[in-house]
Structure 1
Amino acid sequence: MATTKWAIDPTHSEIGFKIKHMMFTNVSGKFENYDATITTEDDNFENAKMEFSADINSINTHNADRDTHLKSADFFDADNYPKLTFKSSSFSKTDEHNYTLTGDLSLRGITKSVQFPVEFSGLMKDPWGNTKAGLNISGKINRKDWGLNWNSALETGGVLVSEEVRLHIELQLVKL
């Protein structure tokens, strides 16, 4: 069976996350620089193979001081671990528009298996004749599982930064 290679269209994609701050509001962020290799069997995304990496130094939460702190050894430790990586082990169809993506997520030198639901938006030709595909990946991870342990207790109880990180990834892929 023929294989098809896909690339991320960075102008129509976003690798984002949200985390609770002071346990009652969300702080959003994203990675500005990332790359992926995606291979499918023809245009069928079932059993797709995906490899992804993001440059930790490209983290952007719209606050320079917070971004600097996130890059420090308290969190991502970008000097020693400059990349976040993901490699799929399976991409299985659950129904017509939904899949389950399973693979290994590596941060700070720690690799853990994760599983995320994926909404497949279908295939479409853009005005220039390029075949595009849309994927919406969501999910949650516990940052402490990857050694991102820094926190601060609040006087009123609770902690400054939630352990749960919600991922919001919008991918527009272009067929190569």
Structure 2
Amino acid sequence: MLTLALNPTIAAYRQPLALLFLLSIALLSTVSSHANSYLIVPDNSNVRFEIDHFNTSTNSGGFYNLTGQVEYDPSAKIGAVTMVIPINSINTGNVAFDNVLKSADFFEAKKYPLATFTSTQWYFANDNSELPVTKVDGNLTMHGQTHPITLTATKFNCYFSFIAKKQVCGGDFTTTLDRRKWDIDKYTLLGITEKVVLKVQIEAAKQ
């Protein structure tokens, strides 16, 4: 557990930075020193979710202002990513529903303000594939629990951004979670499914 200053404003600012620093150290220790380093661009990165609502419709929303770091070397087929997800950034388009999801019934945002994803293995296609990265294994820490997940790539590419004036790499990934594993099981006994679809969009700028 990170020790934070008593001032809540300072704490809210320092906690993601401190956690990102620790995760970055762990990431750098697992990849080649020759891999290029990229910082996640918060404006172009998010984690969106979809969950069935009593077989009638789909509730959806997203988490925004993600931070983190990517290490990527396609020639050596090396990749790593750390990602910090602020729970209070949740947005479903309905403020009342957002507050319910932040409450103790679901994410307990005051107690667990951050979720993190740290990759353990990247999978690469052959050199002629239009999708160089096919999936990423890693550990998702959320609501005080850590469990492995696999993110399947639907897009992945690198390009030179004339706006940022540097190379940018990123992609779209998807996975399905059983929310009960992270002790978020409210209303499952009433018929709301435990299965949650995640759609992850990441873009990171070369440093």
Give the TM-score normalised by structure 1.
Answer: 0.87
Deviations 1:127-148 (A, max 9, x none): 2432112211111001111100
What's 1:137 paired with? 173
Q: How does 1:30-41 map to 2 (within 5 A)?
A: 30-41=62-73
Partners of 2:176 and 2:145 in 1: CA distance: 17
Number of equivalenced pairs: 170
Q: How does 1:63-78 map to 2 (within 5 A)?
A: 63-78=94-109
- Identify the structure with the greater helix proportion: 2
Deviation at 1:120, TM superposition (A): 4.3
Unaligned runs of 5+ in 1: none
The residue matched to 1:162 in structure 2 has which SS? coil
The residue matched to 2:88 in structure 1 has which SS? helix
Cα gap change, 1:152 to 1:25, in 2 (>3 Å):
same
% identical aligned pairs: 25
2:138 to 93, 96, 103: 103
| C-alpha contact (below 8 Å) 1:6/1:39 kept by paired residues | yes
Give the TM-score normalised by structure 2.
Answer: 0.75
What's 2:16 paired with? none
Partners of 1:8 and 1:44 in 2: CA distance: 21
Q: Does 1:60 align with 2:84?
A: no
Q: Does 1:11 align with 2:43?
A: yes
Deviation at 1:44, TM superposition (A): 4.7
Q: Does 1:81 align with 2:112?
A: yes
Q: CA RMSD in A?
A: 2.0
Q: How does 1:20-35 map to 2 (within 5 A)?
A: 20-35=52-67
Q: Does 1:167 align with 2:198?
A: yes
1:90 to 97, 121, 146: 121
Greater relative contact order (CA < 8 Å, ≥ 6 in sequence): 1
Deviation at 1:152, TM superposition (A): 6.6
Cα gap change, 1:17 to 1:170, in 2 (>3 Å):
same
Deviation at 1:22, TM superposition (A): 2.2
